[in-house]
Amino acid sequence: MIEDSHGCIDYDESGEGRTVVLVPGSCNTGAAWRPVIAQWENSYRCVTTSLLGYGGTLERRSADDTDIAHEAVVLEAVIRRVGCPVHLVGHSFGGLTALAVALRARVPLLSLTIAEAPALEILRHMGEYRHYLAFRKMSESYSKAHQAGETTAIEQMIDFYGGAGTFAAWPQRVRDYASQTTAVNLLDWASAYGFELTSGLLATVKIPTLVLWGEASHPAAKRANQLLGQCIPDAAVATIAGAAHFMILTHAREVAGMIERHMARAEGRVAAAAAVPAN
């Protein structure tokens, strides 16, 4: 745990070697990354945290101030605690937060991996209104259901991402946690809609980037991440065969392998650049 002046921040690490900071999505804690971490068998120093309002990380946003910068500041504190350049990996809203950190360029990153971020505003900026409105329709319906007192309103959001029946198939404790953190998740959506992404802004990302999405994911989620891959210079992109949004759980081996290869390529580029003689 990091005892920050603005509130506690979850911090945990395991393993040794190159440092990877793994950021979970909404309704989750760093424990969401355990299936992926297990694939690496302690061959990396894996640092995990939780986003604002989840786990032990204190919420800093309000209904009047949902700026994603609040999330970025928390993640930057985690990276500073690590004490060295890191490979930054984020899933879902954690991927969007990781992108915000990369764009702010205030902490040293070796590479960036984004696993199906809700990059809503790049859809709108690029004129992909059908996909943008799919997100809008879902999030507005879900919000209204929550305001009407439906205790499992978040099922709409989970099933939008994972397909019909996804929420019902989760263990009861996982469903309970998602339902209990619905108000926090609605702040996440407000943060995502307020994060104005443009092709010009994404063109400023200068670190090696990998963008992943699931083959069976919602078309709007896939398209948003395809656009990220197109707009970030020299970004690598990959589809996880057979996976939907919750790929870090259902397809941990494939995700772990893709991240590992991306990190190796990024370090190879750094080594090659360092070997070039100075003029």
Residue 97's pLDDT is 98
Nearest to 99 by CA among 13, 185, 212: 212
H/E run at residue 20: strand 19-23
Nearest to 236 by CA among 111, 100, 109: 111
Residue 272's pLDDT is 66
Mapped onto helix, strand or coil, the DSSP state of residue 112 is strand
pLDDT tens-digit profile of 114-151? 999 999 999 999 999 999 999 999 999 999 999 999 99
2-4 and 7-9 as β-strands: parallel, antiparallel, unpaired? Answer: antiparallel
The pLDDT mean for the chain works out to 94
What are φ and ψ of residue 95, in 5° steps?
-70, -35
What are φ and ψ of residue 12, in 5° steps?
-150, 150
Q: Are 244 and 250 in contact (CB under 8 A)?
A: yes
**Residue 90 structure tokens:** 């984020």
Model pTM score: 0.94
pLDDT tens-digit profile of 188-215? 999 999 999 999 999 999 999 999 999 9
Residue 276, pLDDT > 60, answer: no
Q: What is the dihedral of CA 233, 236, 242, 243, to 10 degrees?
A: -60
Q: How far apart are CA 73 and CA 85, in angstroms?
A: 16
Q: Are 46 and 40 in contact (CB under 8 A)?
A: yes
Q: Are 32 and 47 in contact (CB under 8 A)?
A: no
Q: How far apart are CA 25 and CA 31, in angstroms?
A: 11
Nearest to 40 by CA among 243, 255, 240, 267: 255
